[in-house]
Copies of this chain bind each other. A is one copy, B any other.
Amino acid sequence: MLRLFRYNWMVRDEWFEVFGAISEEELLRERTGGVGSILKTLFHIVDVECSWIRVIKGEPDPEPDFNDFASLDKVRQLSAQYRIEVEDFLTHWTSESDGEPVAPSGTEETFTQGEILRHVIAHEIHHVGQLSVWAKELGLRAVTANFIRRGL
């Protein structure tokens, strides 16, 4: 499981680099699909990953407000900050917990730990696919989505 998270982090960092080349106006421009703008999508990826890990841990959602992080550098810093916590959780996680039930507070639903982790993995790759279309529209080079050839 950790390897797919590491893949996502590697790809995410490469997108932070690529999007460093465009203006804040372009980063914040509303676009069709996804959660709106490039920056909102990056923020959403970072936010959702940490939120779900907190759900598994039974800890409160940090609930960051996008308006407090509306620049590429701030989202990048938030990503780095949350990653320490997420990586710590995942390096101690084993597949024995795959089927462990998780009941998020405030809902009637239950999931399993493995289900949530796969959800988080797919969530980021999906949104990155959206970013890749927007990047091409802006004439930027797209970060490769390859899992192979990354030493993972």
List residues of chain A with CB under 8 Å of any chain B CB.
3-4, 7, 32-34, 109, 111, 114-116, 118-119, 121-123, 125-137, 142, 145-149, 152
Contacts and interface: CB of A to CB of B under 8 A. Distances in A.
**A contact patch SS:** helix
A106 B130 CA distance: 33
Q: In the complex this chain forms, how many copies of it are found?
A: 2
A126 B132 contact: yes
Given A125-B125, A133-B134, 7 more contacts: A32-B136, A33-B142, A122-B146, A126-B126, A128-B129, A129-B129, A130-B132
Given A130-B130, A133-B134, A145-B123, A118 B4 contact: yes
A118 B34 CA distance: 24
Contacts of A145: 122-123, 126
Nearest to A34: B133
A148 B111 contact: yes
Contact of A129 (B7, B116, B125): B125
Looking at A135, A145, A146, the one whose CB has the most chain B CB atoms below 10 A away is A145
